[in-house]
């Protein structure tokens, strides 16, 4: 009985210890499911010899309550484990956009990766068709918080980003170690993914001063 309680609790402890998510523990989940099936069989065995369930012995009723509590506890622990993981996966999509870090993808089960793909598809479809006959997509993930200003200074921290064509900043080329001045909305997903680093926010007067210095040169 004690082992029943330890396996399900171990799954939740893994979640608590992880910085983001632990690797999907398929083996331990299967063991907890087997415990649920075993306890269900035990309950069926207890009542199989009694035709009248309204008049079963006290010891049998106590056994049924015990096994039912074990089944319910294991079930709730499994659901909590899976729900927590799905919530983290959804949060990840809003934090980093479509550029999910490879090290985080490796921690997901195949079915969880499929869930992320379907979640992306549904969110993308909604952003493109949020109102009938909309002309431009609405990027709901662009700003997690209202920005102080739209201009930011960033530092490129990852190799191989190449270049992107943006709506407001034109063509932006990323080279590791370089600092750039761009619209925050153009690079928000890169900041969240940790591929570029937000150095500081530039207000209107700051950007005007920068433009004047560049003109003097």
User: Which range has the top average pLDDT, 88-92, 139-143, 168-172?
Assistant: 88-92
Tell me what the pLDDT averaged over the chain comes to. 84
- For residue 170, the model assigns a pLDDT of 78
Q: pLDDT of 84-117, one tens digit each?
A: 999 999 999 888 888 888 899 999 999 999 999 9
- For residue 145, the model assigns a pLDDT of 59
Region 118-145: mean pLDDT is 81
Percent residues over pLDDT 70 in the chain: 87
pLDDT for residue 212 is more than 80: no
Weakest mean pLDDT among 23-32, 58-67, 90-99: 90-99
Supply the pTM of this predicted model: 0.68
pLDDT for residue 146 is more than 70: no
pLDDT for residue 207 is more than 80: no
Region 192-207: mean pLDDT is 74
Cα separation, 197 vs 205, whole angstroms: 22
- For residue 208, the model assigns a pLDDT of 47
- For residue 204, the model assigns a pLDDT of 52
Please classify residue 174 by burial: count the beta carbons closer than 10 Å to its beta carbon, then call 0-12 exposed, 13-18 middle and 19+ buried: buried
Contact 17, 104 (CB under 8 A): no
């Amino acid at each position: 009985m004690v082992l029943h309680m330890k396996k399900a609790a171990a799954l939740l402890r893994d979640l608590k210890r992880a910085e983001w998510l632990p690797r999907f523990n398929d083996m331990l989940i299967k063991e907890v499911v087997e415990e649920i099936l075993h306890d269900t069989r035990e309950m069926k065995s207890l009542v199989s010899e009694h035709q009248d369930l309204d008049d079963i012995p006290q010891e049998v009723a106590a056994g049924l309550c015990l096994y039912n509590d074990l089944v319910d506890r294991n079930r709730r622990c499994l659901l909590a484990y899976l729900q927590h993981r799905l919530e983290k996966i959804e949060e990840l999509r809003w934090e980093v956009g479509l550029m999910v870090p490879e090290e985080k993808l490796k921690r997901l089960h195949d079915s969880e990766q499929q869930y992320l793909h379907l979640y992306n598809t549904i969110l993308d479809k909604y952003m493109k068709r949020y109102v009938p006959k909309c002309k431009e997509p609405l990027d709901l993930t662009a700003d997690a918080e209202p920005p102080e200003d739209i201009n930011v200074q960033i530092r490129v921290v990852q190799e191989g980003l190449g270049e992107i064509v943006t709506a407001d900043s034109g063509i932006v080329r990323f080279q590791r170690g370089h600092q750039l001045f761009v619209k925050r909305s153009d690079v928000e997903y890169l900041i969240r993914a940790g591929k570029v680093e937000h150095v500081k926010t530039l207000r209107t007067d700051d950007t005007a001063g920068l433009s004047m210095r560049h003109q003097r040169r």
